[in-house]
Amino acid sequence: MGVPLDSREAQAEEVVDRLREAYPDSTISLNYSNRLELLVAVVLSAQCTDERVNSVTEDLFETYRTPEDYANATQDELADAIYGITFHNNKGGYLQGIGERIVEEFDGEVPDTMTDLQSLPGVGRKTANVVLQHGHDIVEGIVVDTHVQRISRRLGLTEEERPEAIETDLMTTVPEDHWQQFTHLLIDHGRATCTARNPDCADCVLEDICPSSKLDSEVDLASGEPW
């Protein structure tokens, strides 16, 4: 079991330093070439792998190029076009509604505020954060996906369980100029080493500062649950 640094701030800074060294090219793994494509890809990625999203959007973006294209399609047409994506029926409806609202309320442009983005169907704070960061260069918060949720808790950076509460905690501990990168680093670490079911603590660059390392313990101290 590793020993975390004295304060959560110090722990967060050390985590960022080490993961930046381990994953120097860490960035978003969804493919897109403009803000609308980014928004669509992020909406599709909820509870679906980025790999699957990228394989579906390759054709989708050829056919649907403008907000009007989505607004003028039916939910069924869009659901067919994104077949293979988790919850494709619901998400087909979201895409149609997003197109319609962008045309009617936002002059055909993807909005650039948290409030306006969250007024779009299927867009919550996480999606809005990603679009602001990567589409508009506005970093207003920390994207908390399932990897960030799990690993932040394991590392003792938060004891919260809900993404919104975790984000609030992280925003007080992670240096602001690393808010965007923090997410990508934890996602890379979650995919490569600190997986949900079988974290490879023996090969982890954070092992000595991680209170949940299972090297000397069979208990996940961050959650209190057995591994």
The residues of the shown chain that bind ligand SF4, judged by CB under 6 A, are 151, 154-155, 193-194, 199-201, 204, 206-207, 210, 212-213
In the block, tokens 């509870």 appear at 47
Longest dimension (CA), the chain: 59
CB of 191 to ligand SF4, least distance (A): 12
Task: Please state, in angstroms and as integers, the Cα–Cα distance from residue 20 to each residue in 123, 133, 143, 174, following that order.
Answer: 29, 18, 17, 13
- Record the tokens describing residue 114, joined without a space: 């948290």
CB of 13 to ligand SF4, least distance (A): 16
Active site residue 169: no
Task: Please state, in angstroms and as integers, the Cα–Cα distance from residue 142 to each residue in 106, 125, 192, following that order.
Answer: 25, 10, 21
Contacts with 49 (C-beta within 8 Å, 6 or more apart), sequence order? none
CB of 198 to ligand SF4, least distance (A): 9
Active site residue 107: no
Q: Which of 50, 69, 145, 208 is catalytic?
A: 145
Q: Which of 91, 126, 188, 214 is catalytic?
A: 126
- Which DSSP string do the residues of 88-127 spell out, in sequence order? HHHHHHHHHHHHHHHHHHSTTS---SHHHHHTSTT--HHH
CB of 210 to ligand SF4, least distance (A): 3
102 versus 206: smaller Cβ distance to ligand SF4: 206
* Residues 104, 134: Cα–Cα separation, whole Å: 24
DSSP for residue 23:
-
> Which residues belong to the active site?
126, 145
